[in-house]
Amino acid sequence: MKKSLLPIRLVLFSIIILITVNAAAQNVGIGTANPQKGRLEITGALGGHTTVLTIGSDGTGISLQRNWPTIGLNQYRDASNTQRFIGAGYAGSIFLSQDDGGLVFAQFGQGTANQEITDATYPLYITGFGSTIVNGALRLKNTAYVEKEIVFEPTPKIVSTSTGTFRNLLAFAYGFVTVDGAKYRGTDNFTCTYNSGLQSYLIYFTEDGDNGQVMVTPRSQVACYATTIRLSQGIFAVNIWNNSGQKIKEGFSITIFQ
């Protein structure tokens, strides 16, 4: 009797399918036909806006958001880019600022599932140039579990006139100025503008700056340097120069020591 070859053909076909699926699934892409940035790569977002992924959305879950990269803790952005609670409970997020590279911790209080988030506080902010800003009280505990509280002013000013070995002169004004001359972040005791006639950034310092030491660091990806000139009481001119000795417009961080 002649045996049927059908079972053998089915086995061979199954092996070919398994090999093909295994080879094609080395990297898995959602929204992309050629995933190259990870074993699992997702492109696109909800409504074309921000939220790429939510996990545990049946409770107080977690979301991942793009562009201003964000880890949402019981928070997501809907198809209209509106912030909402994933589930009933407290919410917060950690995101990376695309303006200055700062890392921001946000809190949104308590809400219900899919409720719009309208209030936010930012208790901790690590700036793109290394400063840590605490909005509120900083509580420290020692090994004996004795709680100590350090309370900062809304805009802290730390002034030291000590000099010598192992002494530091601490800044009492600092901030970041954008390329168009606007103060993006910093203490409230100075303002800034760009003067197109002078091709200079003008710093208006509201305190006694006659004996102040001004330090400026350009935030540029190309080689350049900065100089400062005291124009009058409380007014400094900041000039940014390229390697050819020409004035250019560039954002910078500024620190003033007393």
How far, in Å, CA of 232 to CA of 110, rounded? Answer: 51
> What does residue 18 show for φ and ψ, rounded to 5 degrees?
-65, -45
- What pTM, to 2 d.p., does this model score? 0.49
Tally Cβ neighbours within 10 Å of residue 240.
23
How far, in Å, CA of 74 to CA of 62, rounded? Answer: 5
Alpha helices by DSSP H, listed for the chain, are 6-24
Note whether residue 85 is domain-resident. Answer: yes
Q: Determine the pLDDT at residue 14.
A: 59
Q: What is the mean pLDDT of residues 23-43?
A: 83
Provide the 8-state DSSP code for 121. E
The residue from 94, 120, 152 where one domain ends is 152
pLDDT of 68 higher than 80: yes
Note whether residue 201 is domain-resident. Answer: yes
pLDDT of 13 higher than 70: no
**Same domain for 58 and 135:** yes
Selected residue with higher pLDDT from 111 and 16: 111
Could you read off the pLDDT of 89-107 as tens digits, one per residue?
Answer: 999 999 998 887 889 999 9
Note whether residue 22 is domain-resident. Answer: no
Note whether residue 69 is domain-resident. Answer: yes
The mean pLDDT of the chain is 81
Note whether residue 157 is domain-resident. Answer: no
The residue from 101, 121, 152 where one domain ends is 152
Note whether residue 116 is domain-resident. Answer: yes
Q: What is the mean pLDDT of residues 227-256?
A: 90
In Å, what is the CA distance from 137 to each residue of 41, 90, 105, 119?
41, 20, 15, 20
Q: Which residues contact residue 110 at a Cβ distance below 8 angstroms, ignoring those fewer than 6 apart?
A: 89, 90, 91
Could you read off the pLDDT of 134-171 as tens digits, one per residue?
Answer: 877 777 666 555 555 555 555 444 455 555 554 555 67
The residue from 118, 152, 186 where one domain ends is 152
Note whether residue 9 is domain-resident. Answer: no
Q: What is the mean pLDDT of residues 183-196?
A: 90
Residues making up the chain, counted from first to last: 258
Q: Determine the pLDDT at residue 132.
A: 82
pLDDT of 234 higher than 90: no
Q: Which two tokens mark 73?
A: 């803790």
Q: Is 210 helix (H, G, I), strand (E, B) or coil?
A: coil
**Same domain for 240 and 147:** no
Going by pLDDT thresholds of 50, 70 and 90, the confidence category of residue 54 is very high
96, 76, 121, 71 alpha-carbon torsion, rounded to 10°:
-30
Q: Determine the pLDDT at residue 50.
A: 93
- For 86, the domain range is 41-152
Task: Provide the domain count of the chain.
Answer: 2
**Same domain for 146 and 45:** yes
Note whether residue 47 is domain-resident. Answer: yes
Selected residue with higher pLDDT from 29 and 151: 29
In Å, what is the CA distance from 147 to each residue of 132, 216, 239?
21, 38, 47
